Amino acid sequence: MVRNRKFISGVVPPQERSEPAWWFVFRESNLLVYQEPSPVRSPYLIDLGELGLTALSEHYLGRLDNQPCYAAEVAEGTIPPAGMTFEGLRQVYGRLDEDLFWIAARAVQIIDWDRTHRFCGRCGVPLKIKTTERAKECPQCSLLHFPRLAPAIIVLVERGDKLLLARSRHFMPGMYSVLAGFVEPGESLEEAVVREVKEEVGIEIKDIKYFGSQPWPFPHSLMIGFTATYAGSGIFLDDEEIENADWFTVDSLPRIPGKISIARKLIDWFIEKQGGVSG
């Protein structure tokens, strides 16, 4: 995925805090945004104190069009400043500027990592944040702890004018999507694609092609998208996770995921390929 504006990731903040910065402020997993106007925006300030807020932690993220960006965490009971609100990331998608949205998606993962990686897993002593890279280091045994990132494959399987969609038990009623699953240690992405499809619906596939990737900050996945072609066997549901799976033409689609997801981008790609217009 390519963004419109230039974001350069960084871990070393400016020496002086003298220029306005974008602030991605989270109360638990909810982002602070202005209520009006639409599209909503994030605070753009020199310091969070201007809003009367105190951060529990702050993390420099880098620069967007040369303006600094910070992630900040505020305490659970924090009341939003006048005219502002805390909203879940999924809720602000489509209303928050897309470049800001994807920096917020970085911010929430850095904050979550900071919150959940406080002690060394080997010797239990408090970790220190490294100032030169996005990592924490154990002062006793030097073990490094990096932000967690879980790679997951997602694949659209086509068969003539039909595509394979499946329903997981935890989806909203009526919702279907393409298949996805986490990559196992030691596995290539292509092997993960073949295994997931086989495990979840029992079919064989071929012509596996890379489609694109997308960070998925719920909570820390990286989705790697592929397309593939049906190569044999009937749908066989053995996986308890999958409630139903079937082949659909583009004019008989069930309810599908929202625009935020790479799942939808894959489905839209197929719709357009079939000469349809994606909603």
Residues of this chain that interact with Zn ion (CB under 5 A) are 120, 122-123, 138, 140-141, 143
**Minimum distance of Zn ion from residue 129's CB (angstroms):** 15
**Of 71 and 138, which has the nearer Cβ to Zn ion?**
138
Q: In whole angstroms, what is the distance from residue 148 CA to residue 49 CA?
A: 30
**Of 135 and 235, which has the nearer Cβ to Zn ion?**
135
- Whether residue 153 contacts residue 234, with contact meaning beta carbons closer than 8 Å, is answered with no
**Minimum distance of Zn ion from residue 120's CB (angstroms):** 3
**Of 116 and 188, which has the nearer Cβ to Zn ion?**
116
**Of 46 and 123, which has the nearer Cβ to Zn ion?**
123
Three-point CA angle 214, 220, 222, nearest 5°: 30
- Longest pairwise C-alpha distance within the chain: 64
- Whether residue 113 contacts residue 184, with contact meaning beta carbons closer than 8 Å, is answered with no
Q: DSSP code of 50?
A: G
Question: Which residues are registered as beta bridge partners of 58?
Answer: 72
**Minimum distance of Zn ion from residue 142's CB (angstroms):** 7
The enclosing H or E element of 150 equals strand 150-159
**Minimum distance of Zn ion from residue 114's CB (angstroms):** 17
